[in-house]
Amino acid sequence: MTRVSIGARLHAGFQNLSLARDRLYGGIGWAIDEPRLVLDVERAEELVCPDEAVEPYARRAIEALDVPGAEITVEQRFDRHAGLGSGTRLALASLVGIADVYGREVDVRELAPDLGRGGRSGVGIATFRDGGFVVDGGHPTERFTHSPPETGAWRTPPVIARHPIPDSWRFVLVIPDADAGQSGSTEDASMRSTVERADPGIADEIAPLLTQRLLPAIAEGDRRTFGEAITRLGRLNGAWYADEQGGVYRPPAGRLIESFSNVSGVSGVGQSSWGPTVYAIADTATADRVREAATDALADLDVDGAVRVTGPDNTGYRLEDG
């Protein structure tokens, strides 16, 4: 038996959504240690997977690897469509777990498109493999089509920057009990509409923000500047998405961000992907205070939800023999 373990990821935004620029998308995000996905995988003559959320990903992995089957037990997993990257985590964890029990080595970057991953952002794939803070190079704009391309008709976006995250940094996650974030055909339609009318001027503002503030800050471990840049990046991305998600942030994310963005110890805030997960960037000395403020914010807004503190993941997925 093989056990696969991987933490979630946070997606801060894209570099460009305008068809007027040479490269489209270009994801920015990082890996976190918790919450985690843990799968136990064994050989089998067919697919045995009682978890309906995992079963379709496992089936595609079996087809991609051309093996008879696998028995998969889900020991832990986090909410789907919450902005934590569950789809890519489920797909790739199934892939590497099944490959390992059959004694196969796989390149997740190469096979991810066959599993339907990496069509826009490459952050989930890169952070699954290696962890850390990642910026990918996106896709050539001329490949954009009004209808989603066939599965596997793209390459995983190249990683153009990766940096380890300081061990002392903490991320306070606020996951309100709200409708699931967009996914599947609904997400495809929203992204297509967003891209078709995206203001290229926003991408022009993001470019120097990335190269002159965000990347130097993570390279130097400057949490304050990193947080400020991430906050600005989220707001700029939100301007692209406003018509699709009901504002710069998807409700109730905006109210949560506003309520604790000025709490002492918070260097940056944002909404991960389509939400509803909101995060605050802190460190080991201030994380408990920020967690209390986030809990109070949920209560003040009369919104149910969960708050948790997690550290960075700088290694990516782990395989263990059962």
Q: Which of 49, 50, 117, 48 is nearest to 87 (CA)?
A: 117
Distance CA(267)–CA(6), nearest Å, equals 26
Instruction: Report residue 255: phi and psi, to 5°.
Output: -70, -35
Is the pLDDT at 8 greater than 80, yes or no? yes
Instruction: Determine the pLDDT at residue 115.
Output: 95
What is the rounded average pLDDT of the residues 265-283?
Answer: 95
Is the pLDDT at 183 greater than 60, yes or no? no
Instruction: Determine the pLDDT at residue 140.
Output: 95
Is the pLDDT at 181 greater than 80, yes or no? no
Instruction: Determine the pLDDT at residue 153.
Output: 83
Tally of domains in the chain: 1
Segments in 66-222 forming alpha helices (H): 86-101, 108-111, 123-130, 184-197, 200-209, 215-220
Query: How would residue 180 be classed by pLDDT, with cut points 50, 70 and 90?
Result: low
Cα distance between the two ends of the chain: 5
Query: How would residue 143 be classed by pLDDT, with cut points 50, 70 and 90?
Result: confident
Residue 107: which CATH number? 3.30.230.120
Instruction: Determine the pLDDT at residue 1.
Output: 95
What is the rounded average pLDDT of the residues 15-36?
Answer: 97
Is the pLDDT at 244 greater than 80, yes or no? yes
Least confident of 29-38, 82-91, 231-240, 244-253: 244-253
CB-based burial label for 227 (10 Å; 0-12, 13-18, 19+): buried
Question: String of b and e for 121-137 (b: at least 16 CB within 10 Å)?
Answer: bbbbbbbbbbbbbbbbb
Segments in 102-222 forming alpha helices (H): 108-111, 123-130, 184-197, 200-209, 215-220
- Contacts with 214 (C-beta within 8 Å, 6 or more apart), sequence order: 28, 226, 229, 230, 233
Is the pLDDT at 179 greater than 80, yes or no? no
What is the rounded average pLDDT of the residues 96-120?
Answer: 96
Query: Residue 72 is encoded by which pair of tokens?
Result: 């998969």
pTM metric for this prediction: 0.94
What is the rounded average pLDDT of the residues 259-264?
Answer: 85
What is the rounded average pLDDT of the residues 119-132?
Answer: 97
Q: Is 282 helix (H, G, I), strand (E, B) or coil?
A: strand
Domain of 52, in residue numbers: 2-321
What is the rounded average pLDDT of the residues 219-238?
Answer: 97
Instruction: Determine the pLDDT at residue 145.
Output: 72
Cβ atoms 218, 133 nearer than 8 A: yes
Helical axes 200-209 vs 223-245, angle rounded to 10°: 170
- Whether the CA torsion 175, 179, 184, 189 is positive or negative: it is negative
